[in-house]
Structure 1
Amino acid sequence: MKRAIKKIKNYFENNYEFLAALVIFIIILVANLDFQKTIVLMLEFIVIIEVMKMISDFIKKEKLRLRFVIDIFIIFLIRDVVIYTSKPQKDYFTILFLLVVIMVFFIFRILAIKYSPGKKEFLEDLKEDKNEKQINTNS
């Protein structure tokens, strides 16, 4: 029994997300809030967080990262999908269209990460370090 309690305690210590989700869920139940509206508001909050992260990163590095922009669009489109699916009269064409657009943005995100200039610079630095080590060992 003590071992099981210890495992549960370790799980909650390492997974704060579960506790945060549980607290939010209990607040929703106690306050009798509309669940769909709450989810939409949380997604809007995440969009605001991503926009602030993008602005902060732009101010610090004077570069606009494409990944942040794509993330904002994906989250905003997911928010729209949640709104359309929660309506009594569902427009399935619009929902399907939004899901296809989300899939395209995910492909763009993967390509943006794979072909990012920062990654090329990092790989070039690794090659230079490797070449320098080979020159030093040959001398």
Structure 2
Amino acid sequence: MGMVKTLLDIRLIIFESLESGFSHMVTSVLTVFIVIDLFKAFVDYQENDRIRLTDITDATIFIVLREIAVGLYSQEFGYEFILSLAALLFVLSIMRVLAIKYSPAKSRAPGADTTNVQSEGQTAKQSVSAILDKCKAASESN
């Protein structure tokens, strides 16, 4: 649904002002990234019956980045608000790094650090590709 909205926003660029249409496009694309990340967290919850802290912090980081981009583009926020969002982004990034470093799923074997990080990335890619395959199959059947 988000991609349909994004494609419909292209007509705003053509028929309305470029500034208004581009603003809608940027907002829509960033919102699609947030929805994809939330779907990834939901699929991970369905498979493992737990929610990982990294999934939640990723979604929150995407939301903060979206707000910063929209605020900077529309020039409605003051520098104090942008700086506070940047500080929040910094804290969330530190929290994500610490969540990966001190993950309870990580084994204590030597050399496990790189293996677990690689397998987490591969699992995320497989989950996202499974979701995209399901969406593609559903759109082809319609």
Deviations 1:29-64 (A, max 9, x none): x74572232122111111111111111110111111
Note the residue ranges of structure 1 that are not aligned, 5 or more in a row.
Answer: 1-23, 127-139
Per-residue deviation at 1:89?
4.2
Tell me which residue corresponds to 2:99: 112
- TM-score normalised according to structure 1 size: 0.62
Q: What is the CA–CA distance in structure 2 between the aligned matches of 1:43 and 1:77, rounded to whole Å?
A: 11
- Cα distance, 1:89–1:48 mapped onto 2, change above 3 Å: closer
- TM-score normalised according to structure 2 size: 0.61
Tell me which residue corresponds to 1:95: 82
Q: What is the CA–CA distance in structure 2 between the aligned matches of 1:45 and 1:74, rounded to whole Å?
A: 14
Tell me which residue corresponds to 1:34: 21
Pairing partner for 2:31 from 44, 47, 55: 44
Q: What letter matches 1:41 in structure 2?
A: S
Whether the 8 Å CA contact 1:36–1:82 is kept in 2: the answer is no
Whether the 8 Å CA contact 2:26–2:70 is kept in 1: the answer is no
Tell me which residue corresponds to 2:54: 67
Percentage of matched positions with identical amino acids = 27
Per-residue deviation at 1:97?
0.5
Higher CA-based Rg: 1
Deviations 1:77-113 (A, max 9, x none): 0111012112244411111100110011000010011
Pairing partner for 2:42 from 50, 55, 64: 55
Matched residue count: 100
Q: What is the CA–CA distance in structure 2 between the aligned matches of 1:43 and 1:96, rounded to whole Å?
A: 20
Q: Which structure has more RCO (C-alpha within 8 Å, separation ≥ 6)? A: 2
